[in-house]
């Protein structure tokens, strides 16, 4: 994989391909619609958790009798609700299905148990007073994984139907988590050659199973792309995602530093998915946790969004330049407005190097900052957040290759925008 490879021909070639074809500013701009679509889909999924209001007030003008000829010749004699003339009968016939099918109690019984069954997907929901408890950590992880998988393999892990992509997405997500956790296990730091073959704690078996699950998904991506190119007589220059680009750049006989085309593509795809989804999700998770423990800062962000964007439209990437925030031990976003406004995060000033420095610095700096700005801005603009019992979150760190928060973030959310804005 790219981030584990030693300096050499392989590392230089693959890094160049990744930067030029996925992470450059021009490529990220071309893929802007993907970011926008996935973030809005995820926001819509959050809003779909809220119960429908169910309008019980039927004192409004109903449709007039526009179909005199068709009504008389209709098989049921024109007595159905579609053709009936205004009056008490139409009110009775219309009130019953509205109450029994679209009413709030009926909705809660049927759809709230499984939001994916909701045909409205965010229709006329109550935007005031209702609170829903959600695991925002899972939401963030799903979003970041869906974003990078869409760019790499052209597949959407955002809103997936039962079976198919859903099973694949859950299997892949679990395997990636297992990969990051097994990377922190130090069971072989001081191996004893004589007993090396004995797997005392089952780590070797666990590692092999994890890599088998990851390879299964990666191989399915590659096979789908190869078959698609054969089926549609693929034309060079019409690449839709990163795997398409890699297939176009490498022939069947191509080897990079001794690795086959198949191995190179799968390893590179895994490197990008791991780094882009895991680190971005962890970053967003810590940002939300810190904001929830500093409500004054969260309120300032929301006030700034209301002032510069308003509540009649969603924030866009072009608005980010107008949403600017300024002691390492103090959560003080305002520091970036004053004395440290010129601090560079790209590795040139060593007091703050979140993306590393030098040749091994993260090539996805632009991607990470764009996703962070856009996702956090949408979350804070779209919802108000509160913790159970209004208690501060535990900021304990978990184990792993990356500094993951030990406990997931569970919060109550309340919509803060007009319901029509959630109908993407």
Is 362 known as a binding-site position? yes
Can you tell me the distance from the alpha carbon of 121 to that of 126, in angstroms, rounded to the nearest whole number?
A: 13
- DSSP single-letter state for residue 52: B
Q: What are phi and psi of 380, to 5 degrees?
A: -75, -30
Report residue 85 CA to chain centroid gap. Answer: 49
Report residue 173 CA to chain centroid gap. Answer: 12
Can you tell me the distance from the alpha carbon of 19 to that of 364, in angstroms, rounded to the nearest whole number?
A: 8
| CA atoms in the 13 A half-sphere facing the CB of 2 | 26
Per the document, the length of the chain is 424
Beta bridge partners of 384: 414
CB-based contact 52:102 (threshold 8 Å): yes
Map residue 306 onto helix, strand or coil: helix
In the block, tokens 């959560």 appear at 331
Q: How far is CA 320 from CA 67, 277, 377, in A?
A: 52, 22, 8
What tokens were used for 74?
Answer: 């209709």
Beta bridge partners of 143: none
What tokens were used for 415?
Answer: 């919509």
Q: Which residue numbers belong to the known binding site for heme?
A: 362
Q: Which residue numbers belong to the known binding site?
A: 362
């Amino acid at each position: 994989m790219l981030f584990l490879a030693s300096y050499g021909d392989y590392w230089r070639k693959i890094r160049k391909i990744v930067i030029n074809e996925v992470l450059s500013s021009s490529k990220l701009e071309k893929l802007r619609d993907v970011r926008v679509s996935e973030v809005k889909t995820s926001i819509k999924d959050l809003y779909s958790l809220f119960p429908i209001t169910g309008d019980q007030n039927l004192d409004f003008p109903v449709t007039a009798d526009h179909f005199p000829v068709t009504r008389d010749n209709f098989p049921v004699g024109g007595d159905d609700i579609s053709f009936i003339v205004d009056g008490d009968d139409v009110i009775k016939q219309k009130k019953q299905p509205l109450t029994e099918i679209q009413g709030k109690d009926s909705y809660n019984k049927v759809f709230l148990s499984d939001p994916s069954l909701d045909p409205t997907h965010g229709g006329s929901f109550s935007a005031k007073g209702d609170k829903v408890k959600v695991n925002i950590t899972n939401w963030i992880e799903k979003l970041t994984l869906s974003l990078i998988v869409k760019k790499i393999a052209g597949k959407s892990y955002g809103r997936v139907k039962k079976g198919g992509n859903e099973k694949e997405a859950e299997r892949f997500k679990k395997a990636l988590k297992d990969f990051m956790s097994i990377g922190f296990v130090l069971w072989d730091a001081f191996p004893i050659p004589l007993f090396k073959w004995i797997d005392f704690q089952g780590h070797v078996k666990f590692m092999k199973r994890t890599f088998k699950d990851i390879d299964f998904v990666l191989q399915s991506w590659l096979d789908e792309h190869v078959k698609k190119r054969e089926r549609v007589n693929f034309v060079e220059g019409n690449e839709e995602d990163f795997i398409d680009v890699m297939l176009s750049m490498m022939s069947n006989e191509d080897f990079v530093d001794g690795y086959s085309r198949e191995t190179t593509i799968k390893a590179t795809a895994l490197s990008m998915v791991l780094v882009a989804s895991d680190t971005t999700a962890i970053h967003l998770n810590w940002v939300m946790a810190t904001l929830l423990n500093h409500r004054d800062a969260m309120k300032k962000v929301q006030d700034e969004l209301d002032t510069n964007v308003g509540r009649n439209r969603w924030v866009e990437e072009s608005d980010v330049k107008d949403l600017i925030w300024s002691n390492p031990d103090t959560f003080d976003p305002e520091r970036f407005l004053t004395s440290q406004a010129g601090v560079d995060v790209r590795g040139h000033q060593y007091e703050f190097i979140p993306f590393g420095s030098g040749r091994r610095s993260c090539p996805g700096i632009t991607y990470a900052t764009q996703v962070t700005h856009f996702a956090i801005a949408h979350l804070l603009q779209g919802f108000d957040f509160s913790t159970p019992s209004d208690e501060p979150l535990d900021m304990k760190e978990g184990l792993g290759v990356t500094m993951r928060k030990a406990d997931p973030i569970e919060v109550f959310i309340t919509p803060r925008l007009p319901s029509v804005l959630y109908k993407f």
